[in-house]
A = this chain, B = another copy of it.
Amino acid sequence: MTLLGDLFGAPAVNEIFSPSNTVQRMLDFEAALATAEVQLGIIPTGAAGPIRAQCRADRFDLAALADGCARAGNLAIPMIQQLTGLVAAVDTEAAQYVHWGATSQDTIDTGLALQLRDALALIGADLDRLRRSALDLADRYRSTPIVARTWMQHAVPTALGLQFAGWADALGRHAARLAATRRLDVALQLGGAAGTLATLDGRGVELGAIVGAALELTVPAMPWHAHRDRIAAVATTLALLGGTLGKIARDLALQSQIEVAELSEPAEIGRGISSTMPHKRNPVAAAVALAAAIRIPSLASGIVSGMVQEHERGLGGWQAEWESVPELVRLAAGSLHHLMHAVGGLDVDAARMHANLETTGGLIYSESVTQVLARHIGRPEARSMVVAAAQRAVAERRHLRDVLAADASAMRHLTSSELATLFEPSAHVRAAQALIDRVLDSARSSTNADDGQ
């Protein structure tokens, strides 16, 4: 029972890292190991059946496992003891072949690899959904003007679709990184006491191939007990994703401010209601994703720090992963899950965006005006002229367009209709559309490439 797990995590991924499923995944390794050892004649034919039959987490006493773990220093030792006891109650001969030739770390690492395999599949699917939503929004809002903001100030106009294209573009890169880490880093661990597979009569390599295939895990060239770059690569890959999700959440949070009011998370019953202010809708998805974006880099940092492990199997670094890797995965999955829903049902207020473009009284068009005037009078003079007009506009609370319209030196180089056009966002929106198209095209081709795999 954890009170905050459902807030910060995604239900299906939480389930993968539940105590019961953690034990089940370690048992899946033991079952596959015994089965393969029978297949290769390493252990007696009759041993696999009874072992497999007991490899069910619901037969295990989890409280006793927690207790045994605190004494033994890892979870596999008491689990193997319980498993041996369960098998022995049925078949004492078979009980002798439980965990044959393997070491605790083989069980724990392979159990984790199975959990990562499943979690990354779910995360990949949610990522795909979020990316599709962003691509749809990019396309739908390809012509909606909005102010681009830099340094948290108004800069120049852009198209709203380009903001969403930026999200989608980054999410596409994360999909590629995730696919790479799933392929390379989610691997079987099987090495025995010191990574040599020495007690397996020279059949260790063959055994690994069979167990890996059965568990659908990458079979590594050799055991990686003290080389944790695979685990750390999964962690950093998800940390990068968490960073982009945090960026999206920050955008949502800023654009949901009452004074800005351009975007908001979908309204859902009971969601984000304040206990004292009934009118207030808190952006819960953004909060979750921002919290995750604060916590995940640190968790990843701890996991990478822990890579400095001693000899064949280390002291401390490996143990440091046991809680922090599941936590990081859970947080990334939760951040993604919440944002997938929020972006999928995003409320967009295009009218308000249009109004916000005018907040500065035309100043956001000053760069465009400068550039046009520069063709006639050179950039330095054009800039001086526009700066002076802008200062007058601010001082007199007038629109920059009106100030310029009344400025003979400026109007020498501009017709009234040219001036009016300069103060419209359409040129910026058109320029943005070319980029939106590139992102849409590139997403299409990458998806086709994925289909072709």
Residues of B within 8 A of A99 (CB): 275
Q: Count residues of chain A with CB under 8 A from any CB of chain B.
A: 186
Beta-carbon contacts of A8-30 to B below 8 Å, as 1s and 0s?
10000000000100110000000
In the complex, A230 has a CB within 8 A of chain B: yes
Identify the closest chain B residue to A223 (Cβ): B435
In the complex, A280 has a CB within 8 A of chain B: yes
In the docked arrangement, what's the CA distance between A228 and B294, Å? 14
Identify the closest chain B residue to A172 (Cβ): B221
In the complex, A55 has a CB within 8 A of chain B: no
A453 to chain B, nearest CB (A): 16
A29 to chain B, nearest CB (A): 14
Residues of B within 8 A of A19 (CB): 1-3
Choose from B5, B198, B259, B271 the contact partner of A72 (Cβ within 8 Å): B271
Query: Do A360 and B195 touch (CB < 8 A)?
Result: no
In the complex, A50 has a CB within 8 A of chain B: no
Q: Which residues of A in the span 383-402 have a Cβ within 8 Å of any Cβ on B?
A: 383, 386-387, 390, 394
In the complex, A53 has a CB within 8 A of chain B: no
Choose from B67, B246, B280, B317 the contact partner of A290 (Cβ within 8 Å): B317
Q: Which residues of A in the span 375-434 have a Cβ within 8 Å of any Cβ on B?
A: 378-380, 383, 386-387, 390, 394, 427-428, 430-432, 434
A4 to chain B, nearest CB (A): 6
Residues of B within 8 A of A246 (CB): 307-308
Choose from B65, B197, B323, B324 the contact partner of A431 (Cβ within 8 Å): B197
Q: Given contacts A66-B1, A199-B367, A279-B366, are A247 and B272 in contact (CB under 8 A)?
A: no
Identify the closest chain B residue to A356 (Cβ): B259
Query: Do A283 and B96 touch (CB < 8 A)?
Result: no
Query: Do A174 and B229 touch (CB < 8 A)?
Result: yes
Residues of B within 8 A of A184 (CB): 173, 176
In the complex, A309 has a CB within 8 A of chain B: yes
A49 to chain B, nearest CB (A): 18
Query: Do B148 and A251 touch (CB < 8 A)?
Result: no
Query: Do A75 and B158 touch (CB < 8 A)?
Result: no
Query: Do A204 and B431 touch (CB < 8 A)?
Result: yes
Query: Do B2 and A277 touch (CB < 8 A)?
Result: no
Query: Do B226 and A70 touch (CB < 8 A)?
Result: no
A351 to chain B, nearest CB (A): 13
Query: Do B75 and A3 touch (CB < 8 A)?
Result: yes
In the complex, A368 has a CB within 8 A of chain B: yes
Given contacts A198-B432, A243-B307, A294-B306, 12 further A-B contacts (CB under 8 A): A72-B272, A72-B273, A151-B315, A152-B314, A169-B227, A180-B180, A193-B367, A223-B435, A257-B260, A278-B367, A290-B320, A295-B323
Could you write out 28 A-B pairs with CB less than 8 Å apart? A3-B65, A96-B379, A96-B380, A104-B276, A150-B314, A151-B313, A151-B314, A151-B315, A153-B282, A153-B283, A155-B194, A155-B312, A157-B198, A158-B312, A166-B222, A170-B227, A173-B185, A193-B276, A198-B368, A198-B428, A222-B435, A227-B244, A259-B260, A279-B366, A279-B390, A287-B315, A292-B320, A294-B317
